[in-house]
């Protein structure tokens, strides 16, 4: 069975601080992994994706994520939070096949 | 280049009714996927259409059905609405059949409320 667990439904950071959003997955085969961001009243926007190339993936808006097979993790980070980063973030896994499995999301608040 | 659009934006229905949601894919995209996002949850895959044929389905009952048209726009139909069908319904389009290698572009969603 495939699943995605996002630890922490709400994360608050100060502006300029490190952002760390956690994602762990379970998959019977090596999956492909994604991070999406959702701003209020908008659809999901792809931040980055891991497709079995480099384990450190760089995305848009300064975000990056590292695939760690031994830990079955794909945590999202950004060195310095900006007010515009406040949004809902979703981790998703896609085992071979066409179906995506999304986590329940982490709401990021940036404190000025 | 126009993005993915969905209509209507909001919809209120009562239990037992039927609803049709619409999605216009991004220009040139031939694949569309539908997702249900309940409040406080992540999107759940309903089904995908590629060149007018269903190409994968999630764990949703048959009263959830869909269509894709020759211009690659799509409809999601839900019959015999239940209260638990209240959710944000998202449509995503992509260019190739294997959405792994191509980015899915999401629309803003349709908020369905079932009373």
SS3 at position A62:
helix
Residues of B in contact with A102 (CB under 8 A): 35, 42-44
- Cβ atoms of B93 and B72 closer than 8 Å: yes
Burial profile B67-95: b = 16 or more Cβ within 10 angstroms, e = fewer: ebeeebbbbbebeebeeebbbbbbbbbbb
Q: What is the pLDDT of residues A23-80, one digit of tens each?
A: 999 877 777 899 999 998 788 999 999 887 788 999 999 999 999 988 999 999 999 9
Q: What is the pLDDT of residues B78-93, one digit of tens each?
A: 999 999 999 999 999 9
Tokens at B16, concatenated = 């037992």
Residues of B in contact with A2 (CB under 8 A): none
How many CB atoms within 10 Å of residue A40?
Answer: 7
């Amino acid at each position: 069975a495939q699943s995605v667990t996002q630890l922490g439904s709400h994360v608050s950071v100060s502006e300029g601080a490190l952002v760390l959003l956690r994602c762990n997955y379970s998959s019977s085969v090596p999956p492909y992994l994604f991070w999406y961001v959702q701003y209020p009243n908008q659809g999901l926007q792809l931040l980055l994706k891991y497709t079995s190339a480099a384990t450190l993936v760089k995305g848009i808006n300064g975000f990056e994520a590292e695939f760690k097979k031994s830990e079955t993790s794909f945590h999202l980070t950004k060195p310095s939070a900006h007010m515009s980063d406040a949004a809902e973030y979703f981790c998703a896994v896609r085992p071979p096949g066409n179906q995506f499995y999304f986590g329940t999301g982490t709401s990021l608040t940036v404190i000025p | 280049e126009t993005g993915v659009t969905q209509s209507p934006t909001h919809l209120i229905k009562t239990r037992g009714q039927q609803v049709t949601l619409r999605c216009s894919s991004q220009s040139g995209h031939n694949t569309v996927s539908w997702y249900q996002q309940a409040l406080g949850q992540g999107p759940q895959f309903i089904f995908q259409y590629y060149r007018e044929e269903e190409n994968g389905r999630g764990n949703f009952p048959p009263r959830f059905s869909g269509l894709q048209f020759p211009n690659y726009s799509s409809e999601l139909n839900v019959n015999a609405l239940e209260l638990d069908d209240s959710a944000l319904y998202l449509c995503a389009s992509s260019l190739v059949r294997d959405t792994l290698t191509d980015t899915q572009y999401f629309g803003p969603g349709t908020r369905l409320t079932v009373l």
